[in-house]
Amino acid sequence: MYTSFDYTYPSPTIPNVLACAMFAIAVCVEKLQPVSQPFDDPHIMGSEEPRFYFEESLNLLQRSNDTSDKSLKNAFTPSIVNCQTLTILSLQQHGVAEYSRAAIFCGLASSMAIELRLHRPHEAHGPQCEIRYRLWWNLFILEKMISCEMGRPVMLRVEETDTPYPSTSEADEFELLPSRMKRQNTTNINVVGKMHTLSILVTTIQLSVTMERLSREVYGLMSRRAIRDDRSFGEGKRMEIWSSFQKWESDTEASPLRLDLSSDVTSVPGVVTNYVIMHSGVILLHRPFIARWISNPASTNASAHPLKICLNSANAICAILEKYFDHFYGLPCDMVFSIFTAASTLLYQSKQPDGGDNAESQRRLKMCIHWLSVLGKGWNSAGARQQLLVDSMPRDVNMTTLVNAAAAVDAQESTSSQLLSEQELMYARHSTADTTPGTAKPGAAEDWEFLRGFGDSSDEFYILDEELRVLLESDQQWNL
C-alpha cells in the first residue's frame, strides 16, 4: 500500500523475500518492454533471469527474520509477507507453464490465508487492513483461475468469506496508463486514460464468483453426475450460470469499464483481459452440453444452442484481440488459456459437416496461433499451446512451422502488418536458452505434457480438449 507519488515508500521497507518474488515475475514482464539501456557503462548488468529471483525467493522463505537459521518451518509460518510471496510465486509459475507447482504454491498460500483469517473482516483500519483485503481477493481470483484451467476442486469458497472488497479510493485507482505500454505506431498514443486498477479488481472478483459456480456446479464431480442423470436439471443449471455471465457483461457495459471496440481502442489491459476471460468462461460452461444438445431433437431454441454460443464467444475473443493485441506491448499470460480455448472451439467447428465459413475459420485459427506465438516468446505456456495448435493443423494449409503460420496471418490481415516486425524482433532479442522452471523455453512439437494436467481426460465434459490430445498422439490428419 503506497501512493505512487511518493517514490521513497515502500521500497526501503519491502522484505527481501517479497522483493525477490516480485522481481521473478517482473523480469518476465520486463522482457516484453522495448526499453533501451540508458547507460553505456559495461559494468551495469542486465536483468537477472526469472529463475534467479525465483530460487532466491524460495531460499529467503526458509530464513527467519530474527536469525540466520534456515528451516522449512520458517516458510510454513503464517504471515502476511509469506502469504504474499507464495501468491506471487504461484502466479509466476503459472506463467511459465509449471502448473502443478503453481497449484501447490496457491494451495499453501490459501491455507496460510485462512490461518491468518484473511477471509474475515479485519478489526483495524488503514493500510494494513487494505493490504489484507487485496491479498485475500487476489488469491481468491488466482485460485479460481487454476481451478478452471486444471479442473481442480475449488478450495476458497465465496460463501465462506465476508471480507470486504478493496477500496476503490486509493491512489493507484487513479494512476494513468504508462505511455510506454502502448506501441509507438498507435494512432491514439497521446490518449492516456486512468488505469482504474481497483475498480477492475472488483469486477474481476465478481467474475471469479461466477467462475467458481462454473467450476463447482458444472465441472464438480457430484455436479457432473447430476447433469448426466438429469438432462433438464443440467439444462437449467447451464442457463442459470449463463445468465450470471450475461449479467456481469451487462453491468460492466453500463459502467466506465466497458470494453471499447471502436477505432479509438481506449480500454486498458485489465478491461481487455476480463472480457476475454469472461468469454472463455462462457465456452467452458456450454461446451459439455454440445453433444447432448445435438442428440436431443426436442431442443429447438436455436439461440440457446451450446455450440453456437461457444462459437460466438470464440469469435468474440478473436475480435477483441484483433483490436487490442498489437495495441500494447504484450498482454497478460492469463489470456493464454482463453486463446487456446477459443482455438479449440474453432477447430471443433471446422471439423463438423456444416463447418461454415472455412476460410474465416482458417484465418482465425491462424490468428490464434500467431497470438500464442507472440506471447510464447515471453511465456512458456503460450509457446506450448501454440505448438500444439500448429501440429493439429492440416499439412495442406502450410502450417507445419510457426514462421509459415505467422506469414500466412500477415498476408491475409492487412490491418496487422506490423504484428511481427516490432514485437517479435524485440522478443527474439530477449529470449533465453535456459530451460529451468523459471525460464522454460517454448515447447517443441512433442512438448505437450502440460496439457495432461488440464481437466479430466476420463470425463466427457472435456471431450474437446481430449480430441486435441488424440490428434497429437495419433498424428491423424483432417481437412478444414
pLDDT in tens, 414-442: 333 333 334 443 433 343 333 334 433 43
Does residue 267 share a domain with residue 352?
A: no
> Would you state the pLDDT for residue 403?
36
User: Which of 163, 180, 215 lies at the terminal end of a domain, its last residue?
Assistant: 163
Average pLDDT over residues 206-235: 93
Q: What pLDDT, on a 0 to 100 scale, did the predictor assign at position 170?
A: 86
What rounded mean pLDDT belongs to the chain? 75
Check residues 143 and 302 and name the one with the higher pLDDT.
143
319 shares a domain with 174: yes
**What pLDDT is recorded for position 57?**
92
Lowest mean pLDDT: which of 87-101, 425-439, 453-467?
425-439
| pLDDT score, position 326 | 75
Whether 203 maps to a domain, the answer reads yes
* pLDDT at residue 409 is higher than 50: no
pLDDT tens digits, one per residue of 358-404: 788 878 888 887 787 777 665 555 555 555 555 555 444 443 433 34
> How far apart, in Å, do the first and last CA atoms of the chain sit?
52
- My answer on whether 85 and 221 are in the same domain is no
Cβ(91)–Cβ(142) under 8 Å? yes
469 in the same domain as 362: yes
Range of the domain at 320: 168-327
pLDDT at 98 > cutoff 70 = yes
Count: domains in the chain:
3
Position 392 scores a pLDDT of 56
Q: Which of 163-172, 241-250, 438-447 has the lowest mean pLDDT?
A: 438-447
Residue 4 lies in a domain: no
Answer with the one of 163, 183, 206 that is the final residue of a domain: 163
The pLDDT of residue 478 is 39
Q: What is the pLDDT of residues 320-334, one digit of tens each?
A: 999 888 776 556 667
Last residue of a domain, one of 163, 179, 195: 163
Domain-located, residue 175: yes
- The mean pLDDT value for 442-471 works out to 54
Q: Are 90 and 142 in contact (CB under 8 A)?
A: yes
Residue 40 lies in a domain: no
Q: Are residues 310 and 368 in the same domain?
A: no
Q: Are residues 350 and 258 in the same domain?
A: no
Name which residue leads in pLDDT, 124 or 263: 263
User: Dihedral angle at the C-alpha atoms of 211, 314, 380, 26, nearest 10 degrees?
Assistant: -60
> pLDDT (tens digit, 9 = 90+) per residue, 35-67?
444 434 444 344 567 888 999 999 999 986 656
Same-domain check for residues 320 and 342: no
Confidence of residue 282 (pLDDT cuts 50, 70, 90): very high
* Per-residue model confidence as pLDDT tens digits over 128-154: 899 999 999 999 999 999 999 888 899
Q: Is residue 226 part of a domain?
A: yes
pTM reported for the whole predicted model: 0.79
Whether the predicted pLDDT of 178 surpasses 80: no
SS3 of the chain: the string is CCCCCCCCCCHHHCCHHHHHHHHHHHHHHHCCCCCCCCCCCCCCCCCCCHHHHHHHHHHHHCECCCCCCECHHHHCCCCHHHHHHHHHHHHHHHHCCCHHHHHHHHHHHHHHHHHCCCCCCCCCCCHHHHHHHHHHHHHHHHHHHHHHHHCCCCCCCHHHCCCCCCCCCCHHHHCECCHHHECCCCCCCCCCCECCHHHHHHHHHHHHHHHHHHHHHCCCHHHHHHHHHCHHHHHHHHHHHHHHHHHHHHHHHCCCCCCCCCCCCCCCHHHHHHHHHHHHHHHHHHHHHHHHHHCCCCCCCHHHCHHHHHHHHHHHHHHHHHHHCCCECCCCCCHHHHHHHHHHHHHHHHCCCCCCCHHHHHHHHHHHHHHHHHHHCCCHHHHHHHHHHHHHCCHHHCCCCHHHHHHHHHHHCHHHCCCCHHHHHHHHHHCCCCCCHHHCCCCCCCCCHHHHHCCCCCCHHHHHHHHHHHHHHHCCCCCC
Residue 412 has pLDDT above 60, yes or no: no
Q: Residue 374: inside a domain, yes or no?
A: yes
pLDDT-wise least confident of 166-170, 217-221, 472-476: 472-476
